[in-house]
Every structure is written in C-alpha cells, then in structure tokens.
Amino acid sequence: MRLKDRVAFVTGAGHGIGAASAERLAREGADLVILDLDSDAIEQTADVVRRHGRKALAICADCTADAAVTEAFARAREAYGRIDILFNNVGQSAREKATEFWCSEPETWRFVLEISLFTALRCSRHVVPEMRERRSGKIVNIFGIRVLWRPRHGRLCLGENGSGRHDAIARPGTRSVSYQCERCMPGRYSDAGA
C-alpha cells in the first residue's frame, strides 16, 4: 500500500472519475475526505472506501461557495489532523449552453470558469500552507481537455486547466515545496477500474 495512512481529500467524489479515484486511493491505503453535492452518491462512495478498510468522511457541500469549502476543510482537519493529497475533480462543460463560441454569453464563460477553475483554486489555497510547512503534499487537478468548445471548429477552448498551464494552481510563490500537479488524460472511463 503506497499511501498507507495518508489523508486524501477528493472533490466531486460522488460519481465517475472522482468516485473511482477515491476507491483507488483507499485501495492504496489512504483515508478519505470525499466531497460532492450529491449526498446519496458520496455515502455510496464512503461505503466503498470503508469496504477497503479505510476511513471516510463524506461531506455534502458546494465547491463554488467559499464558506462551504472553508467548513469542509475545517471538518477534514478536525477528523484527520492533516491533508496529504488534494484531488480537485469538480468540473463542468458548457457545450449544452451554446453551440458556437460567438453565440455564447459571458455568463456561460463565468459558469465554466467558476465550476472548472475557481473551485480548484478555492480548494488548493486551503492545503498549500500546510503542505509548504510540511514540505510535502500532492495536488492533483482533473480538467477536461475541451472545457468550453473544440477550437478546431472555431470554438473557444480555455486550455487544459483554464490557463493553458497544468501547474498554474500550485506553482506561483510556492518554490520551497516540490508540488506535483498531475496532468490526467483518462480517455474513456468505465466503472470497471480506476
């Protein structure tokens, strides 16, 4: 078990990649804090984590709300004392809101940036100080390759993480710690494995 007794905080852990990643982290020995808007789904994910013999704290919260995120991280620290791994998985595309970039509204852009970029920033700022102090920690950011639209067809694409850089969240001003921000391109996802 490579992550024995480490604490991982996974956002968007109720479904899909987030749920599968939480299970994989548990299989590797991590205790979990799992966060999602869907309370039934995170309870199911928590049950899966516990079946692997690991602890799970399920928190139903909205990552777009500063107060909710602050409370979630306070609960995590109260339960475990630290966070070793942050897995930012909350995200949303806007393909269903507009077919072409020039037909879209600024409100659509704000929606995508809030859900897909600012949630990761909001969560990351809660762990970077302790990771710097400990001189260890991992932040994994999951972002869609095409957040808004496909550029090949004249549509706007913000880049893998909304800034065009995969490491933009953890790097600035954090040179004293070697952060490892992963670029994940999972391709097809199935419930069969993570």
* Mean of the per-residue pLDDT values of the chain: 78
The answer to whether 161 and 124 are in contact (CB under 8 A) is: no
- Greater confidence (180 vs 43) lies with 43
| Tally of CB atoms within 10 A around 8 | 28
- β-pairing verdict for 181-182 and 56-60: unpaired
Q: Which residues contact 151 (CB under 8 A, 6 or more apart)?
A: 157
| Tally of CB atoms within 10 A around 98 | 17
pLDDT mean over 73-83: 97
What is d(CA 32, CA 58) in angstroms, rounded to the nearest whole number? 8
pLDDT mean over 43-52: 97
Instruction: Examine the pLDDT at 46 and tell me if it is beyond 50.
Output: yes
What tokens does 61 get?
């919260």
DSSP string spanning 91-137? Answer: ----TTT-SSGGG--HHHHHHHHIIIIIHHHHHHTTTHHHHHHHT--
pLDDT in tens, 131-165: 999 999 999 988 654 444 444 443 333 433 444 33
Total-model pTM: 0.76
What tokens does 92 get?
């949303």
For residue 120, which amino acid is it? A
The answer to whether 135 and 176 are in contact (CB under 8 A) is: yes
Structural domains in the chain? 7-182 (3.40.50.720)
- Greater confidence (169 vs 134) lies with 134
The answer to whether 148 and 112 are in contact (CB under 8 A) is: yes
Per DSSP, 164 falls in state: S
The answer to whether 11 and 119 are in contact (CB under 8 A) is: yes
